């Protein structure tokens, strides 16, 4: 088995921002597999009352324009929000407008074994409902990529999130 150079090993161990700053040839943009935050499954079931088939309408990143095609930086933090005007009575009851989702954006390319083409994946690991405490969660958004350039992904800033029991 060939040995990796010291530089390759060091680049592989850096975060996206650190790897780019260090001049590494490429940074990891695919999310690592890992388990949901401690207490997420219980919080989603017991405190938030989310079932296995919840569909949560979201503005994917509150810092950007709601209905536009916007750029997401792979590995960057995002803050999603449930927008005003949602029509689902179920969502209004369990994740009303103003509910904030905290997570990270990732890019999955078709070269990573995806049959459906490239995708923007956002993993939200924390939620804050209006007037309530934060809760750990496992909510995933996966959407179509319109463009990819320099570690950034262009996609629509509206979509849905799905509570899951493990990260895909």
Q: pLDDT of 95-143, one tens digit each? A: 999 999 999 999 887 666 556 778 899 999 999 999 999 999 999 999 9
Q: Check residue 15 and give its pLDDT.
A: 44
**pTM, rounded to two decimals:** 0.79
Q: Does domain 31-163 have CATH number 3.30.310?
A: no
Q: Check residue 97 and give its pLDDT.
A: 97
Phi, psi of 82 (to 5 degrees): -80, 120
Domain assignments of the chain as residue spans, ordered by start: 1-29, 31-163
Q: Check residue 151 and give its pLDDT.
A: 83
Q: Check residue 125 and give its pLDDT.
A: 96
Q: Check residue 8 and give its pLDDT.
A: 41
Q: Check residue 21 and give its pLDDT.
A: 43
Q: Check residue 34 and give its pLDDT.
A: 65
**Residues facing residue 135 across a β-bridge:** 127
Q: Check residue 113 and give its pLDDT.
A: 56
Q: Check residue 117 and give its pLDDT.
A: 74
| Cα separation, 166 vs 121, whole angstroms | 14
Burial class, 38, CB count within 10 angstroms (exposed 0-12 / middle 13-18 / buried 19+): exposed
Q: 113-122 — which CB contacts under 8 Å span 24+ positions?
A: 117/144, 117/145, 118/144, 118/145, 118/148, 118/153, 119/143, 119/144, 119/145, 120/72, 120/144, 120/145, 120/153, 120/155, 121/31, 121/168, 122/60, 122/72, 122/78, 122/80, 122/161
Q: What residue ranges of the chain have pLDDT lower than 50?
A: 1-28
């Amino acid at each position: 088995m060939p040995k990796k150079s010291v530089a390759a090993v060091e680049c592989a161990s850096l975060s996206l921002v650190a790897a780019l700053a260090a001049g590494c040839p490429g940074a990891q943009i695919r999310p690592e597999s890992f388990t949901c935050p401690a207490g997420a499954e219980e919080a989603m079931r017991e405190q938030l009352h989310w079932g296995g088939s919840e569909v949560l309408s979201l503005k994917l990143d509150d810092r950007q324009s709601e209905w536009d095609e916007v750029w997401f930086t792979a590995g960057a933090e995002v803050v999603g929000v449930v927008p005003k005007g949602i029509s689902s009575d179920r969502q209004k009851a369990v994740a009303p407008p103003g509910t904030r989702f905290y997570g990270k954006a990732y890019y999955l390319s078709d070269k990573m074994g995806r049959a459906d083409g490239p995708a923007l994946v956002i993993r939200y690991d924390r939620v804050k409902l209006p007037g309530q405490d934060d809760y750990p969660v496992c909510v995933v958004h996966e959407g179509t990529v319109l463009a990819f350039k320099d570690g950034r992904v262009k996609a629509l800033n509206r979509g849905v999130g799905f509570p899951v029991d493990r990260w895909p």
